[in-house]
Structure formats: structure tokens, C-alpha cells
């Protein structure tokens, strides 16, 4: 009953009496957690961005300006029955210019309004279930004739344009970026785990005589181990909390102001700060406590 209190007070006594190793352990945990705290949202953001790109991949069917309402409706119906097509959106000429106006800003949008006539054609925008089926859908829209000439399914179709080349380029680049980031993250994690393990080992090694004495006066292994594990939890918690504090400062002072202007940084906030904090704090505590417990095993052999 008095045991847990005894173990906790033992842990605090050890922290007090060996301040230098304890501080070293805390600093290591802070650095590791900081690295994790930066890498995890960046990975998440790059993954989100790649998904975004994949979602945007579709097919645009541009029409001649003189296409009649009837012809457009008929083409729309024909497009909808093509396999793998999930949605068909008609973009009129005025809608097209609005979308363009929304994408460009500043002087360019002013010059847009200075245009006398609308240079944009009407178009159909097709959503496709998977980027891999892009080719099949494209072929269905523009059949190849017997003489090798290309025949669109409707005479009003001017041009079929798919973002295939763009898409594959983008997925390849984001894939490479993601791969590099994951490799970096794994390497950093590995290095920092070893660093944490080493720091813990050092602080326990400094006290191996103490552990030996405890064993010789008849302390059971768990009696010796509990204070060390609790010490590990305290070190982990302290380190993680400091790291979270630094991360929060960084978020408030650097990331948040930037995300108002930059599109990419904005996706950083797709990762909630609270789940990130929970993940970081609990993993730091577990690693630190288990590290202490496992390292101690070497000194506990009877």
C-alpha cells in the first residue's frame, strides 16, 4: 500500500541525486521528440498533397464555341455512360472565366476583366475513378477510325486533353519526396532511439553499484526496477512536455502566420495539434520507461 509512494519518492530521490545524467536524458528526449514532432506533420502534409493531386486528375473535353445546347446535352449523356467515369461537369464559357479569375490574383485578374471577349471555350470536366483508367476513358471519347484518323464521339468536340503526363510526373515527384522523408524519419528515429537508450544505459551504469547493493540486501528485481521505470516515465514526460512547448511556440510564431499566405504550409494544420501532442508524449514516456527497464535487466542477473 505504501509501496507506490515509496517507489515514486525513490524515483525523485534518484533524479535529484544524479542531476547531470537526468538532464542529459531529458535533453535527448526533447531533441528526439522535436524531430518527431516536425517530421510527422511534414510527412502527413506531403501525403495529403499527393492525395490532392491524385484527386484532381481528370479529363477535360473542350468543345467548339458554336456548339448548340442540344448537342452539348447529348454529348453530356454519352460521356456519362462511359465506364470508369464518375462524374460529368459542364463548364460554360462564363464559368470557365470565373474559375480562371479565382486562380489568378492581383494585376492578372485586372487584365482579365479588360478582355473584350471571352477566349475560353466551353468544356466538360470528367471525374475518373482511378488515374490508371485515364487512357481507357480518353480512348472512348476519341475513337480511332479505320484510316487511323481520330474521331471524337461528337462533332462538337474540339480537343480532348488529359493531365496524364502532368499527373504521372507529379505522383512520381511526390512519391520520391515521400520516400526520402520516410527514410530520413526512420533513420532519425533509429538514431535518436539509440541515443536515448545509450543515455539511459549510462545513467544506470553509473548506479550499477547501487543496484548490486540492493540485490545483495535481498531486494527483488521488481523492487529495484520500479523506481527506475518511474524515473524513466518522469524523464520522458518532462522531455516530451518541453518539446511540445517548443513545437507550440514554433507553430504560433512561424507556421500559423505563414499558413495565411502559403498554400503548402496550410496543409500542416491538417494534423491536429492535440493528437500529435498525445502521440509524442506517450511515445516518449513509453520509450524512456521501457529503456530503463530493459537496460536494468543486465544488472539484475542473480
Partner 1 sequence: MALTRSRSTRSRARGQADAQKRYEARTGSPAPMPPIVALKDATVVYPGGHVALERVSIEVMRGEFAFVVGPTGCGKSTLIKLLIREVEPASGEVEIAGHDINGMPASRVPKLRRRIGTVFQDFKLLPNRTVYDNVAYALQVIGESRSEIRRKTPEIIRLVGLQSKIHNYPDQLSGGEQQRVSIARAFVNHPPLLLADEPTGNLDPETSIGIMQLLYRINRTGTTVLVVTHDREMVDKMRRRVIALEDGRLVRDEVSGGYHDESTREFAARLHRELEVEPSTGVNDILDW
Q: Which residues of the shown chain bind partner 1 in the complex (CB under 8 A)? A: 2-3, 6, 13-14, 17-18, 209-210, 212-221, 223, 302
Distance of closest approach, residue 290 Cβ to partner 1, in angstroms = 22
The nearest distance, CB 35 to partner 1, in angstroms, is 33
CB proximity list for 36: less than 8 A, separation 6 or greater = 189, 192, 280, 283
- Sorted by sequence, the CB contacts under 8 Å of residue 35 that are 6+ apart come out as 188, 189, 192
Question: In this complex, which beta carbon is closest to partner 1, that of residue 143 or of residue 298?
Answer: 298
Judged by beta carbon, residue 14 or residue 141, the one nearer partner 1 is: 14
**CA dihedral angle for residue 184, residue 187, residue 190, residue 196, rounded to 10 degrees:** -70
If the CB atoms of residues 2 and 83 are measured against partner 1, the closer one turns out to be: 2
Q: Identify which of residues 169 and 208 has a Cβ nearer to partner 1 in the complex.
A: 208
What are the φ/ψ torsions at residue 120 (nearest 5 degrees)? -90, 140
Cα separation values, 164 from 34, 81, 158, Å:
39, 21, 19
Cβ of residue 300: shortest distance to partner 1, in angstroms? 10
Contact 10, 221 (CB under 8 A): no
Give me the least distance between CB of 293 and partner 1, in Å please. 17
What is the closest distance, in whole angstroms, from the C-beta atom of residue 233 to partner 1 in the complex?
20
Nearer to partner 1, 183 or 206 (CB): 206
Amino acid at each position: 500500500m505504501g509501496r507506490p509512494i515509496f517507489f515514486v519518492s525513490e524515483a525523485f530521490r534518484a533524479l535529484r541525486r544524479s542531476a547531470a545524467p537526468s538532464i542529459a536524458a531529458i535533453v535527448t528526449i526533447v531533441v528526439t521528440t522535436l524531430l518527431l514532432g516536425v517530421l510527422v506533420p511534414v510527412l502527413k502534409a506531403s501525403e495529403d498533397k499527393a492525395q490532392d493531386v491524385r484527386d484532381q486528375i481528370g479529363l477535360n473535353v473542350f468543345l467548339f464555341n458554336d456548339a448548340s445546347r442540344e448537342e452539348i446535352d447529348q454529348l453530356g449523356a454519352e460521356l456519362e455512360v462511359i465506364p470508369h467515369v464518375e462524374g460529368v461537369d459542364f463548364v460554360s464559357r462564363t464559368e470557365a472565366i470565373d474559375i480562371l479569375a479565382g486562380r489568378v490574383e492581383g494585376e492578372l485578374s485586372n487584365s482579365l476583366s479588360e478582355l473584350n471577349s471571352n477566349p475560353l471555350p466551353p468544356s466538360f470536366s470528367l471525374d475518373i475513378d482511378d488515374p490508371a483508367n485515364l487512357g481507357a476513358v480518353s480512348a472512348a471519347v476519341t475513337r480511332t477510325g479505320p484510316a487511323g484518323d481520330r474521331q471524337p464521339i461528337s462533332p462538337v468536340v474540339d480537343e480532348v486533353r488529359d493531365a496524364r503526363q502532368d499527373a504521372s510526373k507529379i505522383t512520381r515527384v511526390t512519391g520520391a519526396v515521400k520516400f526520402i522523408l520516410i527514410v530520413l524519419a526512420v533513420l532519425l528515429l533509429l538514431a535518436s532511439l539509440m541515443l536515448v537508450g545509450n543515455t539511459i544505459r549510462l545513467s544506470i551504469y553509473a548506479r550499477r553499484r547501487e543496484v548490486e547493493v540492493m540485490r545483495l540486501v535481498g531486494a527483488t528485481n521488481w523492487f529495484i526496477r520500479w523506481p527506475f521505470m518511474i524515473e524513466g516515465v518522469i524523464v520522458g514526460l518532462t522531455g516530451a512536455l518541453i518539446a511540445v512547448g517548443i513545437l507550440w511556440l514554433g507553430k504560433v510564431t512561424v507556421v500559423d502566420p505563414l499558413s495565411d499566405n502559403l498554400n503548402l504550409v496550410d496543409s500542416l494544420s491538417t494534423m491536429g495539434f492535440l493528437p500529435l501532442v498525445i502521440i509524442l508524449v506517450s511515445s516518449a514516456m513509453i520509450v524512456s520507461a521501457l529503456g530503463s527497464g530493459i537496460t536494468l535487466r543486465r544488472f539484475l542477473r542473480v
